[in-house]
Structure 1
Amino acid sequence: MIKAKYQGVLDLGEQLNIQNGDVSEKDGVLQVKGTAATQYDKNLIWDKIKEIGGDEPADIMADIKVEDESVYARHTVSSGETLGKIAKQYYGDAMKYKEIFAANTDILKNPDVIHPDQELVIPNL
């Protein structure tokens, strides 16, 4: 029953390719463990948990570790994206594009020129 309630969290974990995942139920509490690739992925999992169970759900306990703490996320550029749009997605602030540009000067020479399929580092702020 409790697993069905949080199926959206489990589906998201699968979609994000959470490693070493383990799900069990004990005394009416769903226990979820795993390792996310980045902090951003971990945040997505927690946001989904809160969306379903509220800000402090008592019926789920999640232990999500982060594999790569050196970056906030990694992003593959899609057609039509700009650094501003990408910054808005990850930080909620398009002006943070400068931080993304600074973290990727090895592949970017101009903040106004990015190309599909480039993999950008989204830095921790």
Structure 2
Amino acid sequence: MSVKLKYQGVLDLGETLGIQNGNVEEVDGVLKVSGVAGTPHEKNLIWDKIKEAGGELPSDIEAHIEVADDSVYHRHTVASGDTLGKIAKQYYGKAGKYTAIFEANTNILKNPDVIHPGQELVIPNL
């Protein structure tokens, strides 16, 4: 199996996320990828996908992923059925961290129990 084929899921995710200035080349059996992710969360998603395909310390891929906006962890557009707890669980692994999201968005949120589809929330760095 070619290295590029092995990491095709990484390349597909990069395309889905809209990684900017992406570059991919295979040199001597090592896949070299680079680009600019929008947020730290997107960069983490890429690294998680790399580890999923190649293990914890893969030697057949070199990735240089920069981040365009590291002032926030991510920006999340509220979907129907979302709650701050559910969003906190998605990004931080703990629903109880919803208060950090609420505090970062008091400019548009007045009550942590009331969010609406279409609102764009800042997911702060913790």
Q: Structure 2 length as normaliser, TM-score?
A: 0.99
2:30 aligned with 1:29, yes or no? yes
In structure 2, the partner of 1:106 is 107
**Unaligned stretches of 5+ in structure 1?**
none
Alpha-carbon shift at residue 5 of structure 1 (Å): 0.6
Map of 2:97 onto structure 1: 96
Percent identity, aligned pairs only? 73
Which digits, 9 at most, give the CA deviation of each residue in 1:30-64, with x for residues without a partner?
Answer: 00000000000000000000000000000000000
- Partners of 1:2 and 1:38 in 2: CA distance: 26
Give the secondary-structure state (helix, strand or coil) at the position aligned to 1:13.
helix
Classify the secondary structure of the residue corresponding to 1:48: helix
| Structure 1 residue 4, shift from structure 2 partner | 0.6
Q: CA deviation at 1:17?
A: 0.3
Q: Give the structure 2 partner of residue 39 of structure 1.
A: 40
Partner Cα separation in structure 1 for residue 3 and residue 47 of structure 2: 17
CA displacement at 1:27 relative to structure 2: 1.2
Measure the CA separation in 2 of the matches of 1:53 and 1:47.
10
Q: Following superposition, which runs of at least 4 residues in structure 1 exceed 3 angstroms of deviation?
A: none
Instruction: Report the equivalent of 1:84.
Output: 85
Q: CA RMSD in A?
A: 0.3
Name the counterpart of 2:6. Answer: 5
Aligned AA for 1:84?
A: G
Q: Distance in 2 between matches of 1:82 and 1:103?
A: 15
Return the letter of the residue paired with 1:79. Answer: S
Partners of 1:113 and 1:96 in 2: how far apart? Answer: 16
Q: 1:120 matched to which residue of 2? A: 121
| Alignment length (residue pairs) | 125
